[in-house]
Amino acid sequence: MTLRICMEKYIDKHYLGSRVSYHDYRNKDDVYNRKNPVYEIHVSRNKKDRANLFLVGCSPFCIVQMSRDSLFDLNDFERSCKVRLSLFMDGNDPVCIDSRAGGATYHLGCIIGNENYTVVQLPVPNTESVSH
């Protein structure tokens, strides 16, 4: 099961009825090097209220929830340091790894603050075949 399918099942279960946008961020220099999938959950009915929630796919069964400001802080860090980060799990902590060969690793909490994100473990589907 792909990360996007796991994320969509989570969204269907927890945010039914909310408007959802998918953002497919790609590296402009390398169209085959995709970044983490990002879903924007429009939690407010008021279009002027920008308090949306962002779900960033981290690993097949793990997503990171963050605010618009936290996602912007992460993007600002990439621009200012001239890095291209992808989000992965290192044990129980999300880390950002520069996608270039030999790139540096940064803990997400050091970039946006530990209180500005939440890690959500998704249920692992049962892969055993069902006998008929």
Give the pLDDT confidence score for residue 22 in this predicted structure.
Answer: 86
Q: Give residue 113's pLDDT.
A: 92
Q: Which two tokens stand for residue 39?
A: 């879903």
DSSP state of 17: T
Instruction: Note down pLDDT in tens along the chain; length 132 residues.
Output: 688 888 888 888 888 888 888 886 655 554 445 578 899 998 766 666 656 899 999 888 899 999 989 999 999 998 999 888 889 899 889 999 887 767 889 999 999 999 999 999 988 766 555 555
Dist CA 21 CA 53 (whole Å): 11
The reported pLDDT for the residue numbered 31 is 47
pLDDT value at residue 59? 83
- Grouping H, G, I as helix, E, B as strand and the rest as coil, residue 67 is strand
3-class DSSP state of 66:
strand
CA-CA distance, 119 to 51, in Å (whole number)? 19
Spans of all domains in the chain: 3-121
